[in-house]
Amino acid sequence: MESTIIKSRNFNASFGTNHVVKNVNIDIPRNKVIAVMGPSGCGKTTYLRCINRMHELIAGATCSGEMTINGENIYQMHPIFVRLKIGMVFQRPNPFPNLSIYDNVIAGYKLNGIKLPKAERDRVVESSLTRVALWNEVKDSLTKKGSFLSGGQQQRLCIARAVAMEPEVLLFDEPTSALDPISTSTVEELFHELKTNYTLIIVTHNMQQAARVSDKTAFFYLGELVEYDETKIMFTNPKDSRTQNYITGRFS
């Protein structure tokens, strides 16, 4: 029996009058990779941004329903604590251009004003960069700016930045859609490593990617959660005809 870390019940999200996430019920198990797929505009990214309360930063955005982490209601916690527990990686790599690679990794501490002793900082930087398989590539250029790296390296730097905060859950919003195939496969390999320590929720509209990296897959269509099951079952024997149509490419 697997333990659930994130649970949502009757969860809705809208932008003004535009209802984009409709009545979603989902249980996300600990230390697994969950892929969220669906056609563009189906509400998958919005749902993801509701999990760490980034959705509410957009003017006019509202949401309702229950969303919990370890049984605690996310919407009754302070958003800052939520975001410390739930890290996020974005579609486009966005390292802080004014910070060095080193400072980018510990940006979560630095920007929050958390003082770490030098030895501890070095340890966090090295272990985070090692975990995203970037340490060997950048260990000699830690003082260079983050934007000096290639796109794929920048994205791994962003993952390291999220990992450095020791969150419980990592959210990925189409993390490889701005990357070339080689960088994409490096990042995908990372997902397998990372799930030993974290729960990963990955939004993607690349079905092959969902099939390759995830343990469970959720399919969103027009704001509804159509189907949510083991990835193997989803791709071989989906119960819903809309899932069937989507994975066979009848609509996208």
Partner 1 sequence: MEIGSVKYRIGKSYGFKALVTVFAFACVVPLLFILFFIVRQGITKINWHFLVNVPKPVGEPGGGIINALVGSIEIIFFSALIAIPIGIMAGIYLSENRRGRLAYWCRLCVDILQGVPSIVIGIVAYFWIVKPEFTIHIGFLRLHKSAGFSAISGSIALAIMMLPIVIRSTEETLKLLPSSLQEAAFALGVPYHRVIFKVIIPVGIGGILSGVMLSIARITGETAPLLFTAFGNPYLSYNIGKPMQSLPLLIFNYATSPYDDWKNLAWGASLILLMWVLLLNISTKLITRKWKVQL
Does residue number 88 form part of the binding site for partner 1 (CB under 8 A)? yes
Cβ-based nearer residue to partner 1, 59 or 119? 59
Buried b (16+ CB within 10 A) or exposed e, 34-50: bbbbbeeebbbbbbbbb
Which position among 27, 31, 84, 142 is part of the footprint of partner 1 (CB under 8 A)? 84
Contact region for partner 1 (CB under 8 A) — 26-34, 85-93, 125-133, 207-215? Answer: 85-93
Residue 119 as a binder of partner 1 (CB under 8 A): the answer is no
Tell me the closest approach of the beta carbon of residue 98 to partner 1, in angstroms. 5
Residue 90 binds partner 1 (CB under 8 A): yes
96 forms part of the interface with partner 1 (CB under 8 A) = yes
Among 66, 80, 144, 250, binds partner 1 (CB under 8 A): 80
Residue 178 engages partner 1 in binding (rule: CB under 8 A): no
**Crossing angle for the helix pair 151-164 and 118-131, nearest 10 degrees?**
130
Is residue 46 involved in binding partner 1 (CB under 8 A)? no
H helix runs in 65-180, sequence order: 79-85, 101-105, 107-112, 118-131, 135-138, 151-164
Candidates 105, 134, 143, 133; CA nearest to 121 is 105
Asked if 94 touches partner 1 (CB under 8 A), the answer is: yes
CA–CA separation, 84 and 168 (whole Å) = 9
Under rule CB under 8 A, residue 153 binds partner 1: no
- Single residue of 7, 110, 205, 242 touching partner 1 by CB under 8 A: 110
* Of the candidates 49, 72, 76, the residue with the CA atom closest to the CA atom of residue 61: 49
Examine residue 177 and tell whether it contacts partner 1 (CB under 8 A): no
At 148, phi and psi to the nearest 5? -75, -20
CA distance 9 to 26: 7
Pick the closest to residue 43 from 23, 66, 71, 70 (CA basis): 23
Please report, as ranges, the residues that interact with partner 1 according to CB under 8 A. Answer: 52, 54, 57, 59, 79-84, 87-88, 90, 92, 94-98, 107-108, 110-113, 145, 147, 158, 161-162, 165
